[in-house]
Amino acid sequence: MSPVIALLRRDLLLAWRRKSDATTALGFFVIVASLFPLAVGADATLLRAIGPGVIWVGALLATLLGLPRLFAADQDDGTLEQMLLAPQALPVMVMAKIAAHWIVCGLPLCLVAPVLGLQYGLPTDALLVLVAGLLLGTPIVCLLAAIGAALTLGLRGGGVLVSVVVLPLDVPVLILGAGAVDATLNGLGAQAHLSLLGALLIVFLLATPWVVAFALRIASD
């Protein structure tokens, strides 16, 4: 596992040296979530109704910002070729790269989300459900986007293609995540929504690395 850990540390170190990727995603998320209360006014009922959806859409789009370049830099500097030739299983190494991206771009969104939720007047229990949903949902978004990034690797306009491929697949995650907060606000339990998100996360954790590895091998040929 040492090469896999080394790859994870490498990606985190590169992200630390290039802070623009993480700060761009976080800044985009904060700006999107903060502009809506200014646009719709101070109606507390309206803000509470649209808050979960706005925050989830902002988090989804912010998570996608850096993913088109997830494998492009490795292809340019020869790292991807070394990954393909390494004795370690390629799906495991792919999982390390996706995990590094989520730590850099997804985790900060989950930590900032409660502060943004206060702008919409969300109560404490709804904020807790919001964070729990994002912790389950943003990794799914990263896993799905990694598939798109691998399938479009080396293609001109790959960033646009990733969005076209991935965004329709993210709709169930968006519905379940925002629906969990809405259910909490309406006095219903959010367990069903969060359980479905957890089940989706397990399925994609098991399947996505293999799909991405297969796509990377095709792209390298």
pLDDT value of position 1: 56
Determine the Cα–Cα distance for residues 24 and 134; give it in Å rounded to an integer.
18
pLDDT value of position 133: 92
Condensed to tens digits (0 to 9), the pLDDT of residues 22-71 reads 788 888 888 988 888 888 777 788 888 888 889 999 888 888 776 666 77
Condensed to tens digits (0 to 9), the pLDDT of residues 128-151 reads 999 999 999 999 998 988 888 888
